[in-house]
Amino acid sequence: MEYHKIDKDSIEDVLERAKQYRSLLQPDMAISICMDIFAVDKNNQEALVIYILALTDQLSQSESKVHQKKITDSIKRLDSKFLQHYYSGIFFERQARSLLKHSMSRSFAYEAFIEAIAEFEIAEKMAPEHCADPILRYNSCIRTIKKENLQPRQEFDELY
């Protein structure tokens, strides 16, 4: 069986559908729609952002298999360095939040939050004027670390 291609003129409407499916917590449908867009507009940046967000949405779904390389490769395809750092931060932050659900992974969650914070700091310096998004995400990570009392992993030697 072959996939049918969408009309390039329908991309704007199709993007809205992908956003709707994300808001309905159906990342698989949003991902599928983005792949249909890529079939006719390989480098569509808006579809790429939705695709990245939908892939990272899957991190919170325990039954979903998330291909982290697919996320990082997609982030590299973003044209803007600011967006690359910002969405790398979101990826690490969402990874950290999914790790918080598992008691044995809390120190790994701390490390993922620290990676997210580093990306948001870089993004903040590159952000367009009046863009507070990296600051909001940065502050949210800090608040979560404090609220959850997260600590870095201890080295094996430090335990004994």
**Residue range 92-119, pLDDT digits in tens:** 999 999 999 887 788 899 999 999 999 9
The CB density around residue 106, as the number of other CB atoms within 10 Å, is 17
Model pTM above 0.85: yes
Q: Which residues contact 143 (CB under 8 A, 6 or more apart)?
A: none
Which tokens is 127 given? Answer: 């952000």
Tokens of 118: 């580093």
Which pLDDT tens digit goes with each residue over 115-124? 999 999 999 9
CA distances from 22 to 77, 109, 119, 141 (A): 21, 24, 24, 22
CA–CA distances in Å: residue 151 to residues 23, 49, 58: 33, 31, 25
